[in-house]
Amino acid sequence: PERERSVKQLIGRVVDTITAWAKKQDYFATPDALQAFSDDLKHLLVHQKAAFNSPVWFNCGFEKAPQCSACFINSVDDTMDSILGLAKTEGMLFKYGSGTGSNLSAIRSSKELLAGGGTASGPVSFMKGFDAFAGVIKSGGKTRRAAKMVILNAEHPDIVEFINCKVEEEKKAWALIDQGYDGSFNGVAYSSVFFQNSNNSVRVTDEFMRAVLDDGVWQTKAVTNGDVVDTYKARDLMRSIAEGTWVCGDPGMQFDTTVNEWHTSPNTARINASNPCSEYMFLDDSACNLASINLMKFVKDDGEFDVDGFKAACRTLITAQEILVDNSSYPTKAIEKNSHAYRPLGLGYANLGALLMSRGLPYDSDTGRDYAGAITAVMTGEAYAQSARVARDHGGPFTGYAANREPFLRVMRKHRDAIKDINQKNVPADLYAGAKQSWDEAVELGEDFGYRNAQATVLAPTGTIGFMMDCDTTGVEPDIALVKYKKLVGGGMMKIVNQTVPMALKKLGYTQAQVADIIQFIDEQETIEGAPHL
């Protein structure tokens, strides 16, 4: 097709494709309702109020069945065929710009024997091969790194090797840099060492965390027969995890017990893994389509949050994402089957840090947390309520719902009950009421009609699409600096200046003249430290 040269062409391609699918599958009762949906979606995208995940922008409208999901979870078994199959699946996902995660704990450890004699290689050894493929293919065949998550359970016999593997490679890279090799993002030093294309996470249970608190022991167990292999002090393992994170950012931690307590479909299978950034946690061999809402675009002229407009945006986006499910392609038959049977979606938001800043709220404060909790409750409640409406009006609940109805509704009620933990004194009345109403509707509609989607919301990092929406802050994170420089993988630097500071200063009571002085200082010094009037 001809190269696109405008935002109008880009958004037109995506929305017109989704609208055509909606018409073909009778998602809307009347042509007017379909047109209103299309207009609403274009409005949200054109005005940078929302954005789909990158694969939708890359692929939707170019192919009959495009790969539209950014996040995948892949299973692996303790066979060579399965291990090599995972490498192929990951490679195809990276090719189309998506990311993937896997829990490798099913692979027998390097301390166990093979059936035909000899000792197994262990998951960390195979990770080197997976990492090499990811480094060659990259993301979407471009210069951006592939997005990849590797998880190992704390009871796996190779857990110590896993915890330390990236730390050891980091030290090798430092040695190369000391010898004069290029230490940049795509430089020779880091491209010469392993594990640079993945995020690593240790999966721990409440039992492990209690052992850490009580200074107890922790035993690893053989994959093949469950026998105890090694015994450690739990605090020694925790110290190694913390030190690794301090040195190179890995490994992270995932809290298995909590994750599975909030699982909507536990009667199907447990949650073992996540996508690369850990926002999507669901069944093995599943995919999630993401979209994020730019919170700052819902701040009204008086500085207050447009709750009704935000809810409407949530409804429109959940509907659009639901339409994508049946019209997308998936890399394996297992993922395709689960995507159609469970239909998980990931609506989220960006710019929370800027929103709190605009209100003069410290990010690390009870008031900030309560406000963030209320915003998140509105989005999640409205998303599940809309999912229930779609189930009522189009197609019924997802295929796996009947088997999971009781635990699903239990989790929905847990969400609704959690609103009581938000301090009403710290939240505007209309925002708190909006959160309560959305969750009341989500539970009531779900009890009557079920839900179309086994999962509706996640909080993604929103890196690429955050730039697309001109967000000052990504996902749920605060700003790391008021003036930042982003090194571009194609070369060059981009200067990013936080645009929310004047609003924050005004909210905190500074005069117009004082604000002008402070902003001038930030422009010149690239920091607010030492600015006048503070």
Active site members: 275, 277, 279
User: Are residues 459 and 349 in contact, defined by beta-carbon separation less than 8 angstroms?
Assistant: yes
3-class secondary-structure state, position 46 = helix
> Is the peptide bond prior to 251 cis by the omega test (within 30 degrees of 0)?
yes
Give me the helices (H) in 286-400, please. 307-327, 333-342, 352-358, 366-393
Q: Return left, alpha or beta for 409; rule: phi > 0 is left, psi -120 to 50 is alpha, else beta.
A: alpha
CA 147/CA 163 separation, integer angstroms: 19
Which residues are within 8 A (CB) of 406 and not within 5 positions of it... i.e. 6 or more apart? none
Instruction: Name the nearest CA neighbour of 298 among 500, 50, 472.
Output: 50
3-class secondary-structure state, position 322 = helix
Give me the helices (H) in 47-79, please. 54-59
Give φ, ψ of 19 to 5 degrees.
-65, -40
Please state at what angle helix 7-24 crosses helix 307-327, rounded to 10 degrees. 70
Beta bridge partners of residue 152, listed in sequence order: 202
CA 335/CA 340 separation, integer angstroms: 9
Which residues are within 8 A (CB) of 54 and not within 5 positions of it... i.e. 6 or more apart? 70, 97, 140, 464, 465
Structure tokens at 494: 């981009």
Q: Counting runs of H as helices and runs of E as strands, what totals does the chain give?
A: 19, 14
Q: How far is CA 533 from the centre of its chain?
A: 39
Element (H, E) at 159: helix 159-178
Instruction: Name the nearest CA neighbour of 379 among 453, 292, 448, 321.
Output: 292
